[in-house]
A = this chain, B = another copy of it.
């Protein structure tokens, strides 16, 4: 049995394409009793493209705080805010921001039609009802959240996505104009997410030719951008595609060692996903030798300094929690190391890796 991949069925790519959002939402607005919910990263609050959003008087714009990785309690709170806002039915959810905002939008769209807490759905294929029609408009490139079938959330006991066929967006708008102005380090860390997705897909055991093609191209785009001599405007366009391709590469595969360890780091220390991945990947030459070398060359060329000593002075219970969260991600380890992964990635081995970071 192969997975029947759900691919985002509608996409627009192009500079200024965010201005087509009104046309895209029009067929969803069946009557005056329906509202569109915009979830926008609050850092964009004053940007002109946000002021020009096609929001009707009765629509809801929520400026979200993604200073920390998205939590299930935050998803539940946002969902409640939407439900309490008016008597209107929500006909669309639009997420505008980086991977965290994308994930919040996907999760809220699901939680508007599924009962309980979002933490009930962390796992694989636990969602029973399609969500509200949802649109993703990324303002950072690399996470692949715009195409993935997951929304990664930190819950009460673990960091794990809501993986389901209902999770992917119904529509994405890839407007490279929206990438302008991202801080240099954040742009780099986020882009590396797609480089690492590709690396974990290519060197994983689940790989097939479909995932391979997307992964190889995603990496070559990243190499061109960060090791070549590409005009900045074109580079943003390429990174947007690298992100899409990186996301597609794991659609049929899975992430691996880096993401599993990063989830533990993030769960316990609150480290953001982009930088966390980079911190972890830098210590994985044993698993992804050539790609880690390439990654270090990119770091150097762009004068990116990674934090060190994150686990210095970490208490034993926290270390154990970190290891527990990381090792709970079975499919990631199976992809990375094969069926006997437990023999290779013991708690002691994971501890050894964490102690280096």
Contact = CB atoms under 8 A, between A and B. Distances in A.
Nearest to A221: B213
A11 B149 CA distance: 14
A241 B210 contact: yes
A287 interface: no
Nearest to A211: B13
Interface string A224-239: 0000000000100110
A335 to B, nearest CB: 16
Contact of A12 (B2, B212, B213, B240): B2
Nearest to A236: B209
Contacts of A14: 2, 208
B20 A1 contact: yes
Interface in A1-27: 1-14, 17, 20, 24
A142 to B, nearest CB: 15
Interface in A194-217: 208-210, 212-213, 216-217
Interface residues of A, number: 36
A252 interface: yes
A9 B6 contact: yes
A329 to B, nearest CB: 24
A13 to B, nearest CB: 4
Nearest to A214: B217
A194 to B, nearest CB: 12
A281 interface: no
A74 interface: no
A245 interface: yes
A111 interface: no
Given A213-B245, A217-B217, A10 B5 contact: yes
Interface of A: 1-14, 17, 20, 24, 171, 174, 176, 208-210, 212-213, 216-217, 221, 234, 237-238, 240-241, 244-245, 252
28 contacts: A2-B12, A2-B14, A2-B17, A2-B20, A3-B12, A4-B24, A4-B171, A5-B10, A5-B11, A5-B12, A6-B9, A7-B8, A13-B208, A13-B252, A14-B208, A176-B209, A209-B234, A209-B238, A209-B241, A210-B241, A212-B241, A213-B217, A213-B221, A213-B238, A213-B241, A213-B245, A216-B217, A217-B217
